[in-house]
Amino acid sequence: MKRLIAITQICLLLALGSCYSFKGISIPPEVQSFTIIPFENNANNVVPTLAQTFSERLKDKVLTESRLNYANANGDVEFKGAITAYRISPVAPTPNATTAFNRLEIEVMVDYACVTKPDLDWNNQFRRFADYDSGTDLASVQDQLIEEINEQLVEDIFNKAFNNW
């Protein structure tokens, strides 16, 4: 009987927890639209499509997780910036003087402007990475790693812009 009550309570907590969302809590009511100026590739040795992929990922995130509408220009809030670093470095040295993992790191500089509330404007650098086995050819895992890193970067940017994190 106690087990049934505990399971029921857990299910109830999970159900109630999923009803409440923090998304959009810090977007001023007068802000109705956003614009993303396509990001630039300013890093050395970067994948040519990375900036476009990143810009689209950010656009999709704001569209799906906020009440804001996309505007090609003159949105109430604006994102612009550049990919400033794309680097691969060895990590996790082994006793054989080799490394067990390599790290792909992507760095993005973002300028955020809010037309209706300029005090919310910011300029910030975001950096994320993903590790992969050093015996693996980067070309075979690069797209997956970029997807992972972009997801993390976009989440960080979204939270800074709209959740004051």
How far apart are the C-alpha atoms of 112 and 157, rounded to whole Å? 9
> What percentage of residues in the chain have a pLDDT greater than 90?
67
Q: Is the pTM of this model over 0.85?
A: no
- Amino acid symbol at 62: V
What would the two tokens of residue 54 be?
Answer: 């990143």
Residue 67 CA: distances (Å) to CA of 23, 31, 36, 41, 56: 9, 9, 16, 29, 17
List, in order, residues 6 or more apart from 78 with CB less than 8 Å away. Answer: 34, 35, 36, 37, 111, 112, 113, 115
Read off the pLDDT of residues 104-159 as tens digits, 9 standing for 90 and up.
999 999 999 999 999 999 999 999 999 998 888 888 999 999 999 999 999 999 99
Q: What are phi and psi of 153, to 5 degrees?
A: -65, -45
**What are the chain's domains?**
32-162 (3.30.160.150)
